[in-house]
Amino acid sequence: MSHISTCYAVCDKVGVIEEKLIESPINWSIAYDQILSMDKRDLEHYEKNLLGSFPNTYTFTKRMAEHLLVEHNKQKRIPLVILRPSIIGASLEEPVPGWTDSITLAGGIYLIAGLGILKELPGEENYIGDQVPVDIVVN
């Protein structure tokens, strides 16, 4: 079984991050049950407390999913791999170069640049774009 997570699931850590389940002070099963029992108003009110050192719900829930998958898989013992790509971008080759089914994140930037709306995108020339083509992740 494979699960596509994100490298940002470990954004609360610094330095070299090993490719393994990252220990956490949170009991994810309890956190999951607690979140399911809350109504929307309570979730909004306690969001900052729930997230702790995570910058957003995306990174928080990705880490939660990794831990819950491992926990629920302990007795079944099904081989499990967790993939942590960075931002998943348009395809390199398959099904055709540049294919995407979404205009979120980087895809939105590519769209408005391609339409001529975005004329310039300031950036540091030595920075590396943090994207992996979707077909590379899938393959």
Residue 66: Cβ-neighbour burial (10 angstroms; 0-12, 13-18, 19+)? buried
Q: Is 58 a catalytic residue?
A: yes
33 φψ region: left (φ > 0), alpha (ψ -120 to 50), beta (else): alpha
Which residue, among 16, 117, 9, 12, has the nearest Cα to 69 in the 3D structure? 9
Q: Which of 32, 58, 74, 76 is catalytic?
A: 58
Name the DSSP class of 21: P
Does residue 110 have an active-site annotation? no
Name the active-site residue from 40, 62, 76, 127.
62
Question: 10 Å Cβ neighbour count for 32?
Answer: 17
The catalytic residues are 58, 62
